[in-house]
Structure 1
Amino acid sequence: MFKIMIVEDDRTIADLIAEALNKWEFQASTVTDFNRVFDQFQATRPDLVLLDINLPVRDGYYWVQKIRDASQVPVIFISSRNTNMDMVMAMNLGADDFVEKPFAMEVLIAKINALLRRTYNYQDAGSASLTVNGLTLDFKTGMAYVNDQEINLSKNEYKLLQLLMRAHGSVISRSRLLKDLWTDERFVDDNTLTVNINRLRKKIEAAGLPDYIQTKVGQGYMVK
């Protein structure tokens, strides 16, 4: 059962979301002490976080950065702040998606299901990690390991590596990677993917696995 943490100071909205999630057989928890959001995150270890921007004490931008310092768990912002700048800032700070208030509960549930599917793959829901050809990816921490050597990954590097590892033996096109990594491609150019691929390759090579990610000219990338 996936655990969803709801960081929303409007108690009515938080309770409605929790009720809907429980009906879908998710395990929902809500934050009540907004001084201790990160403490609850660490204690709960959720599989996904729903995070408002306007919160008491510190805003959602602060908390997503705290979460990203410790985890690559998927984060969806839910907010009435709907300018392009708000959305761009949310994504740049580490959010995976943005849902504008007011929203239909069915739309929110669909986005949650889609993001969980992309992040964990339902068939791997009981697994904590994925290992392919000597490299292990930890789903909870967002860290990669080659033997005992730790590889620190950015959010996009983590998502990129997971996509390639899950599809090992098959080529993934650049267009699909762009679509799967960035919910809104309007804010991403093609060079962004190249930069992320190159950084990821260097990190894996430094850990002792050269040529882990292979380029197939005119097709895309793959992990054998």
Structure 2
Amino acid sequence: MSQTKQAAAAIATPMGAIAVAGLELVILAAAACTGGWVGSNAPGVPSGWAGALGGGLGLGLAAGVMQLLSTFKASLRELTRTSYSPAAERSMEEPAESLPSHPEDVMDLLTDAAQAGAAHEAAFYSGKVDPAGALLGKRGLWVGVDGTSAMFHLADGAYVYYEKDDSGKHPRHEYSFVAPATRTEPVPVTSMEQVRDLLEQHVTRELKDEPVAV
């Protein structure tokens, strides 16, 4: 809960109590007056008894109203106890995460983060090859190699390779077809049709140990 809401709740609590107390007095006074008026104006009652009857009816009606108000306030207190509280919110929050104490473990986390970042960028910028994002845009199918490169597995020994080049003024995101098992040199790719053709050549020539044509 924000500080503004907390302050509003703190102000609302005493104001609500004052409002209930004031309402209680008004209702009691109205009940007593109503009972007194009814008793004083009851037909057929001698004037000597009218005042006593009015007082008795006023007190009886006020007592009944007091009982109703007590029940109402008990219900109100129950709702207040079960209402929202900042402490309850804090207890429901997930515990704060912390880094491992050993530097080697932290370095492992950093390595994983760098690889995950490269896989994310490979999927994010793949629109230059896969404009529809039908395949290369799927983040979960990329595997980060290091902080600037990632690989997308196509078939046994065949991948789309992503690499970010930071040597220029603006980063360049390059994609190529690689087949390390057949010692094929990376072939730059710019379309999914080109990737399909290269993969077809790879599958055809794989057993002959021949390089994929550029």
Calculate the TM-score normalised by the size of structure 1. 0.23
Give the helix-richer structure, 1 or 2.
2
Calculate the TM-score normalised by the size of structure 2. 0.23
